[in-house]
Amino acid sequence: MKEVLESKEFKELASRRNTVATLLTVLQLLMYFGFIFVLAFKKDILSQKVSEGLTVGIPVGIAIIVISWLLTGIYVYWANTYYDRAVEEIKNKFRR
């Protein structure tokens, strides 16, 4: 196991995983805190009425939730199709 963890291939793979996770996390945080900052400092933008009983803030908030699910799905898809397969290939390489 130590050989796998110290191998160049695994370290590169772990680096790619960290890059993907960091990118998705930064996107999520920008979106979330952007919404909070707009809500805190430019409340008039989100309080504009779209229709009776519906302001801009509600669809924007729902969009943030949906985009969060999509970002999670993107990571899960990437991990299941690329990362897990690459880990198995590296492990198999060292089993031989």
pLDDT digits (tens, 9 = 90+) for 28-60: 999 999 999 999 999 999 999 999 999 999 999
Instruction: Say how far apart CA 62 and CA 75 lie, in whole Å.
Output: 20
Amino acid identity of 38? V
Q: Work out the number of other CB atoms within 10 angstroms of the CB of residue 16.
A: 14
- Give the pLDDT score at 91: 87
Q: Give the pLDDT confidence score for residue 46 in this predicted structure.
A: 94
Residues 65-85 have pLDDT tens digits of 999 999 999 999 999 999 999
Q: What's the CA angle centered on 50, arms 26 and 54, to 5 degrees?
A: 80
- Say what the pTM is: 0.81
Phi then psi dihedrals of residue 54, to 5 deg = -135, 120
> What span, in angstroms and rounded, lies between the C-alpha atoms of 8 and 11?
5
Decide if pLDDT at 96 tops 80. Answer: no
